[in-house]
A and B are shown apart, each in its own frame.
Chain A
Amino acid sequence: MTSKLTLDLIITWTKQTSKNYRLLLIVMLLAIPVSVLLNVKMISSSYLTPTYTGIENYSLINNLIAKEGDKSSAIDNYLVDPIIAKWPSLKVIYEESTSLKLTGPENSNVISVSFFSGGYSTLGINAFKGTLKALEFPTNGSDLVAAISYSYWQSKYKGKEVINTILPLNGKAVKIVAIMPENFTAFNKQYKTDVVIPYSQKLTLIENTSNDITPNTFSYLLGSSQHLAHFSLHAKTYLSNELLITDDIDIVMNNAIGINNSKYQKISKRIDILVIIFSILLVFCFVSFITFYVGEYASKSNELSIRGLCGASKKQLLFQRAVENTLLIILITIVCIAILPIGKMIVHSMLPTVNFSDVDVPTLSFLKLILCLTLLITLIMAITFFIQETFISKNIGRGENITLSQKLQSYILLSFLLSVAIVSIFISLELLSAQKKLNENDNGFITNNRYIASFELPKTVQTQIANSDTGKLLVNRLENIPNVQSAALTLMAPFANSSSFFQWYTVDDHPVGSGINSQTVSDRVSPNYFTAIGATFVKGKSFSWQSSNSIVVNHTLWQRYFKGLDLYNAKLIMKTRNKNGVIKEHPFQIIGVVKDIYIAGPDVQPNAIVYALTNFLVGAEAIIIHSSNDEKTLKNAVTAQLNTLDVSFKKLELTSLGSLVEIDNQPRNAILLTTIIATLTITISSIIFCLSTVNQIVEKSARAYAINKMLGATNFRVMTFEARFLMAIFLPIVFLSIFIQLYYALQANFIAANINLTTLVSITITVIAFILAALYININNKLHNSWHYLT
């Protein structure tokens, strides 16, 4: 084809498209969900295949989680050997990040250390300098070795030679054997690692510790994707049959690396919701786009016929279609790229916990998505073109009546689109209702006039005051401040992301917490904590300053282990280990069951929590204050009280609990708003599409209606005939399509298994009533002017 023709076609298309506002709107509508999904994909890639770890072979590593009810943790050490015995090609890796002190003469800094078992060569992590061989699963007792991060090497050693030099860490000599690759930042999203040390050397490096898993420990499984898939399918059965895990423990695997499981769940949950909303919107916009494209066929077909009369050959007309389709796809791609920042804003509003500077732009994913979209659009256009060319006869210049095939095509398309709209509206309403419930969920605490105060306490002071009654003293002094109703200490203030663990067991030695060592979420609180935060008791009451052997548990824990029992019979055992490793058991009487307190927000199910008494301060506490004072007055008063206790209290921060809840509610509100907007968009588009389709069909059938009327048919009979014809096509397609869509929505866990049939049926009936009403009104109008269509 000549360049002249190509240029002519491009110029003509550009002129036409710039005036075609409907097409531009539809392309824009198509681009919004695409750009949001692209952003979601970026976040998923960033969190699921984080490049900051330096790992090249993501397919060979899976996060391995032991899940018991709502509890999630790394798998226990004792499971490693049986797993390896059964799946010898797999390796279990542990990672734990912590802070350690440099102890050399010129050093006193705290650095961030990551204990990592090994597997560097398999994962494709290659040292920038030196070798990581010594860090590959070293045996106990081998020399302490470390690899330092590239950034630490640059900042601390200014890029000088460090291999085989000694790093004095925690009083031990650690030999630097390698520098991690430049793209390595950490194995854990929350830390910026300075030094990597083999996990097996944790015990040697840190005294008085154990190899027990902690909430900071991650376990991973390393191996080929086939072996990982096999393990994923059979692990639970095998480990249960071998009596290594109880039936209520699940072995879960996912692709996340270095993210706390609850954060992963929270992010994935929101990502899932975003994917649902915008996938629905994308499908809908895509259907609208195709409908628009098909609708444009009549004028396009006319144009091509006229071009044919003007001397265009078949090849040239085919070339024109190809050029126009390519230009359309380019337009969609450009709009997608232009709208990408809007998508980012939408996603950001729903995932505030995600640091967007960490999110990598997956160019390959973007190209793949655009390629898929291109292929899909081209395919649909080709099919449409073929069908219309083959089956729909045209008679240019002699006027037109609707043919049966055109009517069938329009009704089928209308039925399909409306079925998508019905399911979309249904899912959106379900989402709305779920989000509304979450927003209305009882957090288990009261926000009104509640404040959280946090402070810093130097380590030296911590030791001085640790054995005194400072906690009690502080609480008493705070409660003496005018207009302070109550004040209390806690280790786990709401939304503070702090946690504290102790080993709790039931009297029959069943672990209450995760892992074989029962790491149980345990808060140390002052007696009036529950009053201060506004929590209510399901049964029993709080402890007093004197009742040191009493504990309070939350409702989740009570329901799990003591359901149906009296408080009198409810006891828990706390196990502690002394310096020699001897385990000591301390029995505690449960004297109260408090309603669950959702300290991480309503969409994170609380763990089983034990509340025990604290008399003294360890420096990690937060203070919950119930006061009618304003924030500034209260802060001054609290600072004064803290200073009377010890002048070393620093950096007092006072935050209203209400503002924290508001921040936590923001993403849910954003989801709620987006769902409403998406639902409205879908509903309005459906209405417009339905009205215009019915109008077009009726307009083109007007002459046939008029003839029927002239021959003696009543208006009602004409309308009934058309309505029957429509319903004969509409009902089977809609019901089948809804069934298929719901089946896939259920498979993908987009909707709850107990489908709310009342809502679904109501929406369907409303849509049917609407379409029949539209048909009735349109036909009635035409029949009023029937003479006009006959003359």
Chain B
Amino acid sequence: MTSSLMQINNLNYCFPKAATNTLKNITMSINKGEYLSIVGTSGSGKSTLLSILGLINQPSSGEYLILGRNTTNLTNKSISLIKNNEIGFIFQNFNLLNQFSVYDNVALPLSYNPAIKRNEYKEKVISALSLVNMSNFQDRMPGQLSGGQQQRIAIARALVNSPSIILADEPTGNLDSENSRQVFELIKKLNKTGITICLITHDINYAEQADTVFEMQDGELTAKKNTLSEV
């Protein structure tokens, strides 16, 4: 039996001063261990939806439950704790801190995890780097790495706190085809270890490899299919 990790009911989102809603009446559910992808044209609201799922933005109306807790009632502290413990983010442009070493970049979320002591940092960081095959690069600076390697470091950072879900916004947008393939392989591998994946991508080939595919159009979640051919 699958249990719901994230549940959205009739959610609307409107940017400040915007005339219309960017997200309209969205209802969806993400189950634990699920591999889900969202496709759609530019400006359809994919990234906005991801920012709400990642607790970066709050919905204008509707209900968003994460692990059964309604996010509307959460304090800032609880939101930060959920982001730290349960969610890992991966972006198109990696968002690594160039002035920090690979080790420091990956260790960043550990500073905000009260359950982890300082003497556990090394083990956690090396373990996360090993998952992405980058354990030999911990002393390097991001500028010294290729795009694919940088994205793998960003994935290691997303994994370091053992999150329940990884939210990936166009993770291969800045990568060539070979690096893109490697990153998707890695994401699939992570999903097989039980981590829930929510992926936004333009690449239909990779999107269709997900268990569930959503399509966004003009702020609405218009379809939910098991394969892209059905979309």
| A residues apposed to B, CB below 8 Å | 2, 4-5, 7-9, 12, 15-16, 19-20, 299, 302-303, 306-307, 309-316, 396-397
Distance between Cα atoms of A422 and B107 in the complex (Å): 47
Q: Specify which chain B residues have a CB less than 8 angstroms from the CB of A2 in the assembled complex.
A: 114
Question: Is A397 within 8 A of B92, CB to CB?
Answer: yes
- Contacting pair B76 A19 (CB below 8 A): no
Chain A, Cβ-Cβ closest to B116 = A4
Q: Which of B98, B108, B109, B117 has the most CB of A within 10 A?
A: B108
Q: Is B95 an interface residue (CB 8 A)?
A: yes
Given contacts A311-B85, A311-B109, A397-B93, whether A4 and B99 have CB atoms under 8 Å apart is no
A316 to B118, CA, bound (A): 17
State whether A306 touches B112 (Cβ < 8 A).
no
Known interface pairs A303-B97, A310-B84. Does A7 touch B118 (Cβ–Cβ under 8 Å)?
yes
Question: Bound state CA distance, A611 and B118, in angstroms?
Answer: 85
| Known pairs A311-B85, A397-B92; A8 contacts B109 (CB<8 A) | no
Given contacts A306-B95, A312-B80, A313-B79, 18 further A-B contacts (CB under 8 A): A4-B111, A9-B111, A12-B104, A16-B99, A302-B97, A303-B97, A307-B108, A309-B89, A310-B83, A310-B112, A311-B80, A311-B83, A311-B84, A311-B109, A312-B84, A313-B80, A315-B76, A397-B169
The answer to whether the Cβ of B206 comes within 8 Å of any Cβ in the partner chain is no
Q: Residue of B at shortest CB range from A309?
A: B89
- Does B112 lie within 8 Å of A312, measured CB to CB? yes
A327 to B: closest C-beta gap in Å: 16
Expressed in whole angstroms, the Cα–Cα distance for A19 and B114 within the complex equals: 29
Q: Tell me the complex Cα distance, A474–B157, Å.
A: 95
A312 CB contacts on chain B under 8 angstroms: 80, 84, 111-112
Chain B 73-116 near chain A by CB (<8 Å), digits 1 or 0 = 00011011101110001011101011110001000110111100
* Complex contacts, B157 vs chain A, CB 8 Å: 310
Question: Are B111 and A299 in contact, CB atoms less than 8 angstroms apart?
Answer: no
State whether A397 touches B112 (Cβ < 8 A): no
Q: Which residue of B lies closest to A305 (CB)?
A: B95
Given contacts A8-B111, A15-B104, contact A313 B76 (CB under 8 A): yes
How distant is A307 from chain B, measured CB to nearest CB, in Å? Answer: 7
Q: Nearest-CB distance from A296 to chain B (Å)?
A: 10
Question: What CA separation (Å) do A9 and B113 show in the bound complex?
Answer: 14
Q: How far is the CB of B117 from chain A (nearest CB, A)?
A: 7
Whether the pair A316, B56 counts as a contact (CB closer than 8 A) is no
The residue on B at minimum CB distance from A396 is B95
Residue of B54, B104, B109, B112 with most partner-chain A CB within 10 A: B112
Residue of B nearest to A19 (CB): B99
- Docked complex Cα distance between A20 and B99 (Å): 9
CB of A310 within 8 A of CB of B109, answer yes
In Å, the complex CA distance between A12 and B117 comes to: 16
Assess whether B99 is in contact with A311, with CB atoms less than 8 Å apart.
no
Q: Is the CB of B100 within 8 A of A316?
A: no
Which B residues are CB-close (under 8 A) to A396? 95
Supply 20 A–B pairs (Cβ within 8 Å), ascending by A. Answer: A4-B117, A4-B118, A12-B104, A15-B104, A299-B98, A302-B97, A309-B54, A309-B89, A309-B95, A310-B83, A310-B109, A310-B111, A310-B112, A311-B83, A311-B112, A311-B113, A312-B84, A312-B111, A314-B76, A396-B95
Which chain B residue shows the least CB distance to A306?
B95
- Give A304 Cβ to nearest chain B Cβ, in Å: 10
Q: How far is the CB of A293 from chain B (nearest CB, A)?
A: 15
Measured between beta carbons, the chain B residues less than 8 angstroms from A314 are 76
Are A397 and B91 also in contact (CB < 8 A) when A306-B108, A311-B85 are?
Answer: yes
Residues of B within 8 A of A303 (CB): 97
Give B170's nearest chain A residue, CB to CB.
A397
Return A281 CB to nearest CB of chain B, in Å.
29
| Contact of A299 with B91 in the complex, beta carbons under 8 Å | no
Give the distance to chain A from B200, nearest Cβ to Cβ, in Å. Answer: 12
Asked if A316 meets B95 with Cβ closer than 8 Å, knowing A15-B104, A309-B89, A310-B112, the reply is no
Tell me the complex Cα distance, A339–B99, Å. Answer: 28
Q: A309, B83: Cβ atoms under 8 Å?
A: yes
Q: How far is the CA of A316 from the CA of B77 in the complex (A)?
A: 10
Total A-B contacts with CB atoms under 8 angstroms apart: 68
Distance (Å) between the CB of A106 and the closest chain B CB?
77
- B residues 40-78 touching A (CB-CB < 8 Å): 54, 56, 76-77
In the complex, the answer to whether B81 meets A311 with C-beta atoms within 8 Å is yes
Q: Which residues of B contact A15 (CB under 8 A)?
A: 104
Residue of A302, A309, A313 with most chain B CB atoms under a 10 A cut-off: A309
B85: chain A residues within 8 A (beta carbon): 311
Min CB gap B156→A, angstroms: 12
Task: Give min CB distance, B137 to chain A, whole Å.
Answer: 17
The answer to whether B118 and A8 touch across the interface, beta carbons within 8 angstroms, is yes
Give Cα A620 to B26, complex, Å. 106
Bound-state CA distance A8–B76 (Å) is 22
Give Cα A20 to B100, complex, Å.
12
B111 touches A5 (CB 8 A): yes
Residue among B54, B80, B85, B161 facing the most chain A CB atoms (10 A cut-off):
B80
* Interface residue from A7, A19, A309, A313 paired with B77 (Cβ < 8 Å): A313
The smallest beta-carbon distance between B184 and chain A, in angstroms, is: 20
Q: Using Cβ atoms and an 8 Å threshold, which residues of chain B touch A12?
A: 100, 104
Question: Across the interface, which residues of A come within 8 angstroms of B91, CB to CB?
Answer: 397
Residues of A within 8 A of B56 (CB): 309
Judging by beta carbons under 8 Å apart, are B112 and A316 in contact? yes
- The residues in B between 128 and 187 inclusive whose CB is less than 8 angstroms from any CB of A are 157, 161, 169
Beta-carbon contact of A306 and B114 below 8 Å? no
Q: How far is the CA of A47 from the CA of B75 in the complex (A)?
A: 61
**Taking CB as reference atom, which chain B residue is nearest A20?**
B99
**A313 contacts which chain B residues (CB < 8 A)?**
76-77, 79-80, 112
From A5, A12, A19, residue with most partner B Cβ within 10 Å? A12
A2-B114, A306-B108, A310-B109 as given contacts; A316 in contact with B80, CB under 8 Å: yes
Chain A residue nearest in CB terms to B92 = A397
Q: Note all chain B residues with C-beta closer than 8 A to A5.
A: 111-112
B-chain residues with CB within 8 Å of residue A309 when the two chains form the complex: 54, 56, 83, 89, 95
Instruction: Name the one of B84, B95, B104 contacting A397, with C-beta atoms under 8 angstroms.
Output: B95
How far, in Å, is A615 (CB) from chain B's closest CB?
83
> B149 to chain A: closest CB distance in Å?
18
Cβ–Cβ < 8 Å partners of B99 in chain A: 16, 19-20, 299
Q: In the assembled complex, which residues on chain A have CB atoms less than 8 Å from the CB atom of B95?
A: 302, 306, 309, 396-397
By a CB distance below 8 angstroms, the chain B residues around A310 are 83-84, 108-109, 111-112, 157
Residue of B54, B95, B157 with highest tally of chain A CB at under 10 A: B95
Which B residue sits closest to A8, measured CB to CB?
A: B111
Q: Which chain B residue shows the least CB distance to A399?
A: B93
Give the distance in Å from the alpha carbon of A5 to the alpha carbon of B110 in the complex: 9
Q: Give the Cβ gap from B2 to chain A, nearest Cβ, in Å.
A: 26
Q: In the complex, A299→B111 CA distance in Å?
A: 19
> B residues within 8 A CB of A4?
111, 117-118
- Give Cα A310–Cα B82 distance, bound, in whole angstroms: 10
In the bound assembly, the distance between CA atoms of A315 and B79 in angstroms comes to 13
Contacts of B92 in A (CB 8 A): 397
Within 8 A of A (CB), among B202-231: none
Q: Which 7 pairs show the lowest CB-CB distances between chains A and B? A: A311-B84, A313-B80, A310-B109, A8-B111, A311-B112, A311-B83, A310-B108
Give the CA-CA distance A9 to B111 in the complex, in Å. Answer: 9
Chain B: minimal CB distance from A440 (Å)? 52
Q: Which residues of A contact B100 (CB under 8 A)?
A: 12, 16
Interchain CA distance A306-B89 in the complex, whole Å: 10
B166 CB → nearest A CB, Å:
12
Chain A residues with CB under 8 A of B112: 5, 307, 310-313, 316
Q: Cβ of A306 and Cβ of B97 under 8 Å apart?
A: yes
User: Considering the chains assembled together, what is the distance between the CA atoms of A226 and B118 in angstroms?
Assistant: 61
Nearest CB in chain B to that of A9: its residue = B111
Of A20, A312, A316, A396, the most chain B CB neighbours within 10 A belong to A312
Nearest-neighbor residue (CB-CB) of B77 within chain A: A313
How far does the alpha carbon of A307 sit from the alpha carbon of B81 in the complex, in Å?
12
In the complex, which residues of chain A have a beta carbon less than 8 angstroms from the beta carbon of B76?
A: 313-315
CA distance A309 to B86 in the complex (A): 12
CA–CA, A755 to B202, complex, Å?
68
